[in-house]
A and B are shown apart, each in its own frame.
Chain A
Amino acid sequence: MDDFGEAIGAAFHLLFTLDDQLMEIVGLSLQVSLIAVLIACLIGLPLGAAIALFRFPGRKFFAILLNALMGLPPVVVGLIVYLALSRSGPFGVFGLLYTPAAMIIAQVILIVPIIAALTRQVIEDLWLEYEDQLRSLGANSTRAIPTLLWDGRFSLITAVLAGFGRASAEVGAVMIVGGNIDHVTRVMTTAIALEVSKGDLALALGLGIILLCLSLTVNGAVYAIKETAQRRHA
């Protein structure tokens, strides 16, 4: 209980004093996660929609694969990205290891299957309702993809939020490829892991509370926007 009280105290202290280091960590965490989610959306949304709409051999296999990849172990992804970006790896020449870019790459790999798999389900359901009308209006499957993504935007927000949740809570992969370097690649989750290993549980819990609050704020804001827009467009 003492730890918990101290944790809340530490969290408030960090927040109200606008601790520079904390702000830097929060900023980097948001930056990495949001960029990763944005890139994953650009890949995952059309990929999920394409698997939902196009008929091709192995389509069911891809759908199952996507669902399975939703549970990709972050440490394994971190290791693969580490090997790919390390000096002897195929992309070592770019010198990305232990940079925020490496963390973004690892998070994108983790999030794409989540966004794509949830998108596939949403678009498949929507296609059942829209197919005759869209084909009658002259849209083929390719033209239907952006239409359905736009019309399914309120449902797809959940997919994007699931991706953001995974990205912001992820620690294993970013620890391996980012290295948790102070002022360079330290994010909320790796900072929490570090404080735990140092035995400063109160600060770790404090950081955890801030991370939870951040996640709640982002989710709450997106939910409010979704509800308002959905009421407007039905």
Chain B
Amino acid sequence: MNEPLPLLPLTLKDVSFEAGGKRLIKDLNCCFEAGPRTVIIGPNGAGKSLFLKLCHGLVPPLEGQITWNDSNEISSRFKQAMVFQRPIMLRRSVSANIHYPLKLRGILKRDRISLTEEALSRAGLGRLREHPARVLSVGEQQKLALARAWALKPQVLFLDEPTASLDPAATHAVEELIDAIHKQGAKVIMTTHDLSQAKRIADEILFLFRGRLLERAPVERFFRQPENDLAQAFVKGELLWWRLGKANRKNQRKRDGDK
């Protein structure tokens, strides 16, 4: 019998994306292997969420190629999961929300039930299984979104600022779940604004700025000594738009001088 094809590596080659005449992702090249947890950081408008959506296949690139090791579109889609900053819960019970994607994957009912129970219990949502999902708190909904992803046993889990609107306790619970999913064998690719969280979770950091990948480094090195000057400023907590403004003004003066 053939072994199922591993989903990774994921390769992005000269990927660009444009919307409304504005280039939001520019000539992006990178490759993701199984294993280390990747955290993507950068200021607002850097293209972090868009980067995840491109990788996950929710938006097609304008230019370039995004290729998975498993090139079958359906099978590669079913080996991934994504948790959004504001997850959409279906208007049905908590357990039915986990059942739904399992059913889409053609998983037998008895297996769906056991996977759902396992995921609910791991997320600490067992007592809420029959509750309507939409009446859960934001933190519980995010845990449910992770439980839903957990049940899918993904090879790659994309997380788009999953703790952006959560309190510290809920953030801790979500981070524990992310860690558990990673230990289950999933490659975690996540975006965050929270540098402390990036230090806690990441094995490697990707620094994005205005649609460009400016630096990729192991987490310790990135936070100790980032190579890119904008990454240095970002880590120090400086306002990048101001730095960029200064740089632009300097370049402008230089251009004026050349004239």
Contact = CB atoms under 8 A, between A and B. Distances in A.
Given A138-B78, A138-B101, A147-B100, A133 B134 contact: no
A134 B148 CA distance: 12
Secondary structure at chain B's binding surface: helix, strand, loop or mixed?
A: mixed
B88 A139 contact: no
B105 interface: yes
Interface string B86-113: 0110111000000011001100000000
A136 B132 contact: no
Secondary structure at chain A's binding surface: helix, strand, loop or mixed?
A: helix
A143 interface: yes
Contact of A136 (B82, B91, B105, B135): B82
Interface in B53-71: 53, 56-58
Interface size class of A (residues with CB under 8 A): 10 to 19
Contacts of A234: 91, 132, 134-135
A87 interface: no
Nearest to B160: A132
A58 B44 CA distance: 39
B32 interface: no
A154 B87 CA distance: 21
Contacts of B104: 137-139, 143
B134 A130 contact: no
Contacts of A129: 88
B84 interface: yes
B132 A232 contact: yes
A138 to B, nearest CB: 4
B91 A137 contact: no
A200 to B, nearest CB: 50
A151 interface: yes
B81 interface: yes
A13 interface: no
Contacts of B134: 233-234
A61 interface: no
A60 interface: no
B91 A233 contact: yes
Interface string A110-135: 00000000000000000001101111
Interface string B133-156: 011000000000000100000000
B100 A137 contact: yes
A140 to B, nearest CB: 9
A135 B58 contact: yes
B193 interface: no
A151 B91 contact: yes
Contacts of A151: 90-92
Given A132-B53, A233-B91, A233-B132, A138 B84 contact: no
A138 B58 CA distance: 11
Interface string A41-76: 000000000000000000000000000000000000
B212 interface: no
Contacts of B105: 138
Given A133-B87, A138-B104, 19 more contacts: A129-B88, A132-B84, A133-B84, A135-B58, A136-B56, A136-B81, A136-B82, A137-B104, A138-B77, A147-B90, A151-B91, A153-B91, A154-B91, A233-B91, A233-B132, A233-B134, A233-B135, A234-B91, A234-B135
